[in-house]
Amino acid sequence: MNPLRALPLFEDLNEETFSKLTEIARQRRFQKGEILFFEGDAPNDLVVLTKGVLKLFKTSSSDKEVILHHFTPVSLVAEVAVLHRIPYPATAVFEADSEVLLINYDAFESMFLSNPELARILLLSLSKKIRMLESVIERGLVMDASERVINFIRKSPELLKTMRHYEIANILNLTPETFSRTLKKLQHEGKVINSEAGWEALP
């Protein structure tokens, strides 16, 4: 499935319109450590993370890194800055080899936002996304360590091969010790397995 269909913003578009959307999207690959954008850069594209991990952070006056968010697939990245035509409020760096889809915003605005019917569909989709984010926030507040690890394995199993445990623990807001202990516990309970094909969360 085209990863754009995984986004609530685009899931209700008909095939003809969705096809037009894919025509203005281009794929780019990035290596771990590469910068997607710096704080203060002017945005030109809607960014969709389809593979990997992207860290959003700011640097304090004392040069301390303040992590704002980790994006995992499939996610729209900093779309508010693009939609409002304001500079990016933070810097984004890839924490794993990653892939993104870049949607030219000028073409997107001309093609979609000038059409009242499409604008209505997108507005409904944005409302749906807000409700989804509220649900995600609620789950994040009540999820225990085991639930967070299982959810991560289901969403991004390949990252357990490429990222260090302390990096994944940081994404999950766990200590490295808690992450390792939880992973071993889930394996012992038969809730996750690590086979030749990689990590898998069992039903």
> Quick check: 117 pLDDT over 70?
no
Specify the higher pLDDT residue, 182 or 116: 182
Residues 131 and 164 in one domain: no
Say how many domains are in the chain: 2
Q: What is the CATH number of the domain that holds 193?
A: 1.10.10.10
Residues 51 and 149 in one domain: no
Residues 134 and 197 in one domain: no
Residues 151 and 118 in one domain: no
* pLDDT tens string 8-56: 777 777 888 889 889 999 999 999 999 999 999 999 999 999 999 999 9
Q: What is the CATH number of the domain that holds 124?
A: 2.60.120.10
Residues 85 and 159 in one domain: no
**If residue 200 lies in a helix (H) or strand (E), which one and from where to where?**
strand 198-201
Residues 29 and 93 in one domain: yes
Three-class secondary structure of residue 151 per DSSP: helix
Strand partners of residue 99: 29, 51
pLDDT band at 200 (very low <50, low <70, confident <90, very high): confident
* pLDDT tens string 59-110: 877 777 888 888 888 888 888 888 888 999 899 999 999 999 999 999 988 8
Helices 176-188/145-155 angle, 10° precision: 80
Q: Which two tokens stand for residue 40?
A: 């203060």
From 140, 168, 188, the end of a domain falls on 140
Residue 97 has what pLDDT?
92
Assessment of whether the complete model's pTM goes beyond 0.85: no
| Domain span at 175 | 144-201
